[in-house]
Structure 1
């Protein structure tokens, strides 16, 4: 929980209309954050998440942004600062997998879009957030959490190697940025979900993938979106004041 005597933290969450992003938004709202939530489509679902967060006491700014458009990505942090006056946290959650299938069948155009959304947009957002937060630039410090995947280390053969590559790049962003910007008050960490029951699998062409993979998970079930949100809340909290460069893996034992 946040200290009621301090200004409320202001956290940007990308891809917050459903799945893990929505679960993170609702958890942070309950813990006293005001929120900037981005979504690409399905405005009705994004609005429903915003209403639930508002009911928990959060002030919420909804931003429609296709993060495959890097100009749109570049507008997110300035819009948040204009609305709230400051940003204390960024959660780079938005991501796409591409179609599930063999590596040789992955269209290059699809992979290019995947890297724009999963890697280049987080770079754009992280640069803007750090420029605002860094104490050597007049900021008050802050915290960035990158939502990666267990695929970053498994490589996801026969499934989605380009997606795994993009998440490995996101892990490298955490490692490098945490070291470069730790001295100026910005902590950067990763949360790496394992197979989680969200719509991302349907978008990749295999809606039953979480249950299909369950026998190979030590806990014999996929994760649920809300089970990922607590780690993000921790990393954004004062309890994690000495935690930077970490990767919290939430994968049922995998």
Structure 2
């Protein structure tokens, strides 16, 4: 029997786009597994926001950059909320901003481990869950406008990782389309989150805003609306596509 309730696991959901997506998904009828890495208090605030929408939620600690953590994340989510019907691969890191020649091997490896391998491994476990429970689920992979721009002088390695995510999205979607499982991507432009400060340039929003045709950065909630729309029945004929949510870039 396919599950009757909607359950989504969102990686990196304690802040930014992930947190906004969790709240929007709850509004649209999803129970939400809120994955986080370090900030349990922030994750619990998102859980409370989901509960206020009348849906169930659980905070699940785990590092998608560590293959050994990923099965536990899925097991905890499903044991608490029931079978998954959706996955949002939102977690993404850049490493320090700067020229590629200054980027270390450790940074490159960590970025690809989280952004690419984490996305791939989470998707594989989601597919196994959908098959086990007989559901036609949805996977949304969060990419970046960097996959098209290349991000010269900032984080070429991050851009390359997101291009890999987009290619994976396309290939997986086509491979499993006949099963009814949909796989799409969302590529945000620069967004007002903590990613800029984490990368070492808290003032980056002010620097990049004039380069965006709309003249401003996205709010996390704007990107979240795109993600939850792709999760919804309104997008039932969309798979193997990456929606650009980048203010005209």
With normalisation by structure 1, the TM-score equals: 0.94
**Residue aligning to 1:49:** 46
Cα offset, 1:81, TM superposition: 2.3
Matched, 1:69 2:77: no
| Match runs of 1:131-146 below 5 Å | 131-134=128-131, 139-146=134-141
1:129 to 126, 131, 143: 126
| Match runs of 1:49-198 below 5 Å | 49-134=46-131, 139-198=134-193
**Structure 2: gaps of 5 or more residues:** none
Residues 94 and 155, structure 2, Cα contact 8 Å, conserved in 1: yes
**Residue aligning to 1:229:** 224
Residues 34 and 46, structure 2, Cα contact 8 Å, conserved in 1: no
Matched, 1:11 2:8: yes
Residues 141 and 165, structure 2, Cα contact 8 Å, conserved in 1: yes
Q: Deviations over 1:138-174 (max 9, x none)?
A: 6211100000000011111110001001100110111
Matched, 1:244 2:208: no
Distance 1:31 1:54 in 2: 13
Residues 13 and 91, structure 1, Cα contact 8 Å, conserved in 2: yes
**How many matched pairs?**
247
Distance 2:99 2:73 in 1: 35
Residues 12 and 80, structure 1, Cα contact 8 Å, conserved in 2: yes
Distance 1:160 1:209 in 2: 13
Cα offset, 1:110, TM superposition: 1.1
Residues 57 and 81, structure 2, Cα contact 8 Å, conserved in 1: no
Q: Deviations over 1:88-137 (max 9, x none)?
A: 00000011011100000001111101111101111111001011214xx6
Cα offset, 1:68, TM superposition: 1.9
SS of 2:95's equivalent in the other structure is coil
Q: Deviations over 1:41-63 (max 9, x none)?
A: 11111111110111111100110
Deviates more, 1:215-224 or 1:67-76: 67-76
